[in-house]
């Protein structure tokens, strides 16, 4: 079963065509890494999949529900209730954490559980405690983000994304704001999620990580998918000259 289906996705900003007919499917339990140069459309693709940007044309299906589809030359998005249902099916981890600075770690994780997903405070705290233990952050439950390292903040972000038990998690450059030492801890968590068969789409510049953890790698440049294939094979034996040139820098 495909958790994510994106068909013929087009997106422009003014006169700049950023996505030029992208087709991408992600099956249940699959880890897909999206790589490519800056400005190639990777983050825009993620923002379109997670409703942060509206596409100009194409079709997006998440967890079997249609988010949007083109008809009569126009793009039509689902209604408000379906949009809420679809958003509950995915988690999103940003490169700059996006934690609420005035909330404790616990409240950052439980806020949506209580107020959006209508969990009891007791149930939300139980979920939170389990995730903090998983992230090795139990002692930080009552701390505020400003008192955490970047790596700890990113692990809180991952815990928050996992809290609602999503069908798929999107990561947008999850380690780009971290130094190499802190990067290790975040990548370790993502590796463990991959081993647990969490469905993930990861935009990353960490080539060795993508090679070792992803099932499939998608290489984007200029708003199109230049090449995709099994992760290890694509990194070690790319077919397209543009892919070879990009990977030669790593």
170, β-bridge pairs: 92, 201
Closest CA to 66 of 83, 50, 51, 44: 83
Q: Taking all residues of the chain, what is their mean pLDDT, rounded to a whole number?
A: 95
Stretch 139-147: mean pLDDT:
96
- Sheet architecture: strand order including 90-93: 90-93, 168-172, 200-203, 31-35, 216-221, 224-230
pLDDT at 96: 87
246: tokens are 């990009």
How far apart CA 122 and CA 110 sit, in angstroms, is: 10
The owner of tokens 């149930």 is 123
Work out the percent of the chain whose per-residue pLDDT is above 90.
Answer: 88
Alpha-carbon 16 to chain mean position: 24
Stretch 8-12: mean pLDDT:
97
Stretch 96-118: mean pLDDT:
94
pLDDT at 140: 97
pLDDT at 181: 82
Tell me the per-residue pLDDT of 146-178, one tens digit each, with 9 for 90 and over: 999 999 999 999 999 999 999 999 999 998 888
Specify whether the CB–CB gap between 137 and 152 falls below 8 A. Answer: yes
Buried b (16+ CB within 10 A) or exposed e, 30-68: bbbbbbbbeebbbbbbbbbbbbebebbbbbbbbbeeebb
Stretch 73-98: mean pLDDT:
93
Closest CA to 102 of 146, 163, 137, 160: 146
Tell me the per-residue pLDDT of 195-246, one tens digit each, with 9 for 90 and over: 999 999 999 999 999 999 999 999 999 999 999 999 999 999 999 999 999 9
pLDDT band for position 19 (50/70/90)?
very high
pLDDT band for position 180 (50/70/90)?
confident
């Amino acid at each position: 079963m495909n958790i994510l289906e994106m068909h013929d996705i087009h997106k422009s900003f003014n006169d700049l065509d950023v996505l030029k007919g992208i087709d991408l499917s992600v099956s249940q339990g699959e880890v897909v890494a999206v790589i490519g140069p800056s400005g190639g459309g990777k983050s825009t693709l993620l923002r379109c999949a997670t409703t942060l940007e509206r596409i100009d044309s194409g079709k997006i299906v998440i967890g079997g529900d249609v988010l949007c589809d083109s008809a009569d030359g126009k793009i039509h998005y689902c209604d408000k209730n379906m949009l809420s249902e679809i958003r509950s099916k995915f988690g999103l981890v940003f490169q700059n954490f996006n934690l609420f600075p005035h909330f404790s770690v616990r409240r950052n994780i439980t806020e949506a559980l209580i107020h959006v997903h209508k969990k009891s405070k007791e149930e939300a705290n139980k979920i939170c405690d389990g995730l903090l233990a998983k992230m090795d952050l139990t002692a930080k439950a009552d701390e505020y983000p400003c008192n955490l390292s970047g790596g700890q903040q990113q692990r809180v972000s991952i815990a928050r994304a996992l809290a609602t038990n999503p069908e798929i998690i999107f990561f947008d450059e999850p380690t780009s704001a971290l130094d190499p030492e802190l990067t290790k801890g975040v990548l370790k968590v993502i590796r463990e999620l991959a081993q647990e068969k969490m469905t993930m789409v990861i935009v990353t510049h960490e080539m060795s990580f993508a090679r070792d953890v992803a099932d499939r790698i998608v290489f984007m440049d200029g708003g199109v998918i230049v090449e995709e294939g099994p992760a290890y094979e694509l990194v070690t034996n790319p077919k397209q000259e543009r892919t070879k040139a990009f990977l030669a820098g790593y």
